[in-house]
Structure 1
Amino acid sequence: MGILGWIVLGLVVGALAKLIMPGDDPGGVVVTGLLGVVGALLGGFIGGALFGTGLGEFFDLRTWVLALVGSLIVLGIYRLVTRRRART
């Protein structure tokens, strides 16, 4: 999958993660897209480490599920970090 595919996948999956975990996050659309791209990479790494399978083709369901799980993890970590920073 090319760079453009990664960006599109990250943007879409970042938006899906935001729909699954709604709430106030600083940064808006740009940060959500970046978190989605990082989450897609993390999902591919986790899939490769745990299941022996990474991100495949763009239209493969496994790719989307792994990217979504990674994006949810990254979004959760982002919220924990920004919430702590806002309190101090």
Structure 2
Amino acid sequence: MGVIWTILIGLLVGLVARFLKPGSDPMGWIMTAVLGIAGSFFAQFLGVKLGFYQAGQSAGFIASVIGAILLLVIWGFIAKK
């Protein structure tokens, strides 16, 4: 059941990130869920490195959305080249 919740929350985070970031990001719902999950991991990684989170502590919803937006921006730079 935990995996299903992770995918659903990842999908929600990915949808919010794609809505908030201006520009076109053509991807399906599976890649949107992967984006949200990866954004959460990215936010947690940066949070631990910057001292916002303790090791093993998960990122919150807003931090996950910010992490997903950062991944979209990074992907945009990589895809242009």
Superposed pair shares fold, TM > 0.5: yes
Partner letter of residue 7 of structure 2?
I
Question: Partners in 1 of 2:3 and 2:48 — Cα distance?
Answer: 19
Write the mapping of 1:55-74 to structure 2, written as runs, cut at 5 A. Answer: 55=58, 63-74=60-71
Question: What's the TM-score, normalizing by structure 2?
Answer: 0.77
* 1:58 alignment counterpart: none
Partner of 2:4: 4
Identity %: 30
* Alpha carbons 1:9, 1:40 under 8 Å: kept: no
CA offset digits 1:6-46 (Å, max 9, x no partner): 21221111110111113222433332222111111111122
CA RMSD across the alignment: 1.8
- Taking the TM superposition and a 5 Å limit, the aligned residue runs for 1:1-88 are 2-50=2-50, 51-53=52-54, 54-55=57-58, 63-84=60-81
Question: Cα distance, 1:69 vs. partner?
Answer: 1.3
Contact 1:39 1:69 in 2 (8 A): yes
